[in-house]
Amino acid sequence: MAAPARGWLIAICLVGSFWCAAACARTGRSSERSEGQGETGMADTSIMAAQKALTDSVMSKPGVVGTAIGLCDEAPCIKVYIARRDEELLKQIPDTFMGFKVDVEVTGEFRARDTTP
């Protein structure tokens, strides 16, 4: 993947991660907070730091196309997106990272959408 395209992909993944952290961290019960959430219901910054650190280590691996923060069994987790199922690549991605579950999803390649009319 060309360097400019990879830069855009990383930017898109980061924006998606922040959106997901805001949208996915809510429990649906305003009077309760789940573990790892602050007063606003937003994901604790520790999962954001964990996602950034994992992104820095896995994005250089061929086949990894992005990361995000999501929910796994109603708990915050880090998603790692890969282009195709590859057993050797899966062995290089941890099951947990900094105390958070890591969930790997096969998504195919991400491509920027053409917005020209």
Provide the terminal-to-terminal Cα distance of the chain, rounded to the nearest Å: 26
Q: Chain-wide mean pLDDT for the chain?
A: 75
| 18-72 residue pLDDT tens | 444 444 444 333 333 344 444 445 556 799 999 999 999 999 999 999 999 999 9
CA distances from 23 to 16, 19, 47, 59, 89 (A): 10, 6, 14, 24, 29
pLDDT of 43? 53
Cβ burial of 60 (10 Å; 0-12, 13-18, 19+) is exposed
- Report the alpha-carbon distance of residue 70 to residue 74 in Å, rounded: 9
Task: Enter the pTM of the model.
Answer: 0.60
